[in-house]
Amino acid sequence: MSSISKLARRALVIIGAIWALSGHSLAEAPCGGIDAAPPFADANQEIRIADAAFSVSMNGHCPSMRLADGIKKPRILFFWMRLEGGRAALEKLKSEGRLPIRHRWVARVGSRSSLDGSEDIPATDAMGRDVLQLTNEANELSFFDWRTKTRKERIFRNSSYRIEILDALDRPIPCAENLDCLPCADGIRCAVRMKIR
């Protein structure tokens, strides 16, 4: 490991410690990825949200730290997710015009809902470089592993943010069974929430 890498890692540890000591909560966790994603026996596996986290910073395509519910108001809030599915799921998304995938941020401040409004932020591109790389990955491995994020810079104290993960046709993208997600349309679990102090 180079001295720059060691220095960067130490800086992240120090920043994480300062963040935790200032009353914020965090949990270090791996980002996951192809080595963590199961090779699907069925190339027709539907798309799903395999992992999701809130963070105040990113390390490439991964959250630098995972935040727990009830954090102090940060300057910026990222929502990161990892999508996975079989080769047919990616082809279906493209052919049905379901890209881009969006994060719908809905704010609730105090007792007032949507003071900040509901804002849809594209989390993926419709047919760009990401899709080309994923197509190559899906063709080679029969599945894809897609990490993406959005961020919000206008964060309110004493608020909560509900993020709904939707495709371009407003259909919910379901969470994997092991994720703690909230229901969206038709009872499909496709939303997560973060409370801010």
**63 has which bridge partners?**
58
* 192 touches 183 (CB < 8 A): no
Report H helices in 61-185.
87-95, 129-141
Neighbour-count burial of 129, counting CB atoms closer than 10 A to its CB (0-12 exposed, 13-18 middle, 19+ buried): exposed
Reading the block at residue 87, the tokens are: 């080769």
CA distance 10 to 118: 38
CA distance 59 to 44: 31
- In sequence order, what are the residues at sequence separation of 6 or more whose Cβ sits closer than 8 angstroms to the Cβ of residue 50? 32, 37, 82, 83, 84, 145, 176, 179
- In sequence order, what are the residues at sequence separation of 6 or more whose Cβ sits closer than 8 angstroms to the Cβ of residue 94? 127, 131
pLDDT by residue, tens only, the chain of 197 residues: 455 555 545 554 454 444 443 443 333 345 654 444 454 446 677 899 999 999 999 988 889 889 888 889 999 999 999 998 888 998 899 899 998 899 999 888 876 655 456 788 888 766 666 778 888 888 888 888 888 899 999 888 888 899 999 999 999 999 999 999 999 978 999 999 999 98
What does pTM read for this prediction? Answer: 0.76
Reading the block at residue 70, the tokens are: 């009830």
Report H helices in 22-128.
87-95
pLDDT tens for residues 42-87?
A: 667 789 999 999 999 998 888 988 988 888 999 999 999 999 888 8
